[in-house]
Amino acid sequence: MAKSNILLIYTGGTIGMVKDYASDSLKAFNFKKLLQRIPELNQLDCAIDSVSFKEPIDSSNMNTVHWVQIAEIIAENYDRYDGFVVLHGSDTMSYTASALSFMLENLSKPVIFTGSQLPIGDLRTDAKENLITSVQIAALTEKGKAVVQEVGLYFEYKLLRANRTTKINAEHFEAFQSMNYTPLVSSGVHLKVHKEALLPRKRQKKLKVHKSLDSNVGILKLFPGLGQNLLQSILSTPGLKGLVLETYGSGNAPTETWWTEMLKKATASGLKIVNVTQCAGGGVIPGQYETSVHLKKMKIINGGDITTEAAITKLMYLLGVGTSDKTFKSVFETSLRGEMS
Ligand code: ASP
């Protein structure tokens, strides 16, 4: 059987960082050196090529231009490779990976994001296992077709659907969680693929890459005491087109008149407001409590059990592709890439 061809795309992140002794902080370093540190990659039964960002970055510096760059690398190499592994800093990995899941329509090959909490050169690094298993998952085929045909995020023995993930720990190797969806693959003595959890295999449709993302969006996390001035200034941000409102519990928000009136005015003037819960698990159930009835009445978009990361990137994507005002709410409330239940 032919070997799988895998393309590694290195964007930066802790995995390839070294200590800069002048500033005593971690900085991205040359990718070639990174590969030399993992000779085990040569033992895998697949051919691995790599490309690197010219300037690898800490993922705190990620923006939509970088997302387009990653999408373009995948698009340009789509026919030549069987799978893609994107090395990325963990801090904003869930955002980038969620964005890519929307940008890559009709994806029928694996795009696996991974990184690490400790640099590859560190004795106790988690980078090797994350990278090696990600490559193995990207190379998995069945009857000549890729097993995983979606964007995933692999960290600490689990492949998760990328747009279901959130970084939940800055210390533990288990840095990501997918509270509302089960893992796609578990890695133990054997790699166990949970087939029923994967997005169904698609009939070969041509990959469509959406590069236009609208970043005129924002996130507002509610807290008791949030004042009128703050809400007012956020809603009157020049050019603002979409807002993710992180509400309490199952989608609840204050019912004071000024709150309701301001939100009503904003939605009436065309602002797309998405209700998501600030809880780690579960989702929005409009109207379950009296404190969400007003949001339901003013047709605020129900984010269901979507993560904030997926909600903000879905907003950028749907605004970017020019979704009409008439259909926006229903399109957003539909699961496009398995991002909501
Ligand atoms: N600050 C790093 C980054 O996100 C953290 C990591 O890679 O885990 O680039």
Looking only at the bridges linking them, the beta strands covering 158-161 and 151-155 are antiparallel
Asked whether residue 203 carries a pLDDT value surpassing 80, the answer given is no
Residue 29 has pLDDT above 80, yes or no: no
Residues 306, 251 contacting (CB under 8 angstroms): no
- Which mutation among 27, 61, 90, 168 tests ligand 1's pocket best, with the greatest number of atoms within 8 A of CB? 90
Give the nearest ligand 1 atom to 116 CA: 8
pLDDT for position 121: 78
Distance 207 CA to ligand 1 centre (A): 30
CB 244, CB 315: distance < 8 Å: yes
pLDDT at 195 over 80: yes
pLDDT at 30: 67
Same fold, 4-209 and 217-332: yes
Token pair for residue 75?
């698009």
Average pLDDT over residues 245-262: 97
Boundaries of every domain in the chain: 4-209, 217-332
Q: Which atom of ligand 1 is nearest to the CA of 58?
A: 9
91 lines ligand 1 (CB under 6 A): yes
Are 112 and 159 spatial neighbours (Cβ–Cβ below 8 Å)?
Answer: yes
Whether the CB of 119 sits within 6 Å of ligand 1: no
Pocket probe for ligand 1: among 59, 61, 93, 96, the residue whose CB has the most ligand atoms within 8 Å is: 59
The confidence score (pLDDT) of residue 152 equals 98
291: helix, coil or strand?
helix
Among 38, 148, 145, 23, residue whose Cα is nearest residue 87: 38
Rounded to the nearest whole angstrom, what is the distance from the C-alpha of residue 331 to the centroid of ligand 1? 33
**Mean pLDDT across the chain:** 94
14: annotated active-site residue = yes
Q: Answer whether residue 39 shows pLDDT above 70.
A: yes
Question: Are the C-beta atoms of residues 220 and 234 closer than 8 Å to each other?
Answer: yes
Q: What is the DSSP string of 246-267?
A: EEBTTTB----HHHHHHHHHHH
In Å, how far are 116, 138, 159 from 14, measured between CA atoms? Answer: 6, 21, 19
Residue with token string 């005129």: 216
Which of the 8 DSSP states describes residue 7? E
Residue nearest to atom 3 of ligand 1 (CA): 89
Pocket of ligand 1 contains residue 94 by CB under 6 Å: no
Local confidence band at 37 (pLDDT 50, 70, 90 cut-offs): confident
C-alpha to C-alpha distance for 73 and 17, rounded to whole angstroms? 22
> What is the structure's pLDDT at 38?
81
Our measurement of the distance from residue 12's CA atom to the centroid of its chain's CA atoms, rounded to an integer in Å, reads: 16
**Residue 34 — pLDDT band, cuts 50, 70, 90?**
low
Q: What is the pLDDT of residue 202?
A: 73
Judge if the beta carbon of residue 150 lies within 6 A of ligand 1: no
Residue 125 CA to ligand 1 centre (angstroms): 14
* Ligand 1: centre distance to CA 60 (Å): 7
Q: What residue type is 23 in one-letter code?
A: S
Residue 307 is given by DSSP the state -
What DSSP assignment string belongs to 180-234? TS--SEEESSSEEE-GGGSPPPPP----EE-------EEEEE--TT--HHHHHHH
- Of the candidates 11, 14, 114, 313, the residue annotated as catalytic is 14
Over residues 260-298, the pLDDT tens digits come to 999 999 999 999 999 999 999 999 999 999 999 999 999
CATH class of 217-332: alpha beta
pTM (2 d.p.): 0.96
pLDDT at 97 over 70: yes
Q: Is 126 in the pocket of ligand 1 (CB under 6 A)?
A: no
139 confidence band (pLDDT: 50, 70, 90): very high
Higher pLDDT, 224 or 55: 224
CA–centroid distance, 154 to ligand 1, in Å, is 15
Q: What fold does the segment set 4-209 form as a domain?
A: Rossmann fold (3.40.50)
Structure tokens at 86: 């994107």
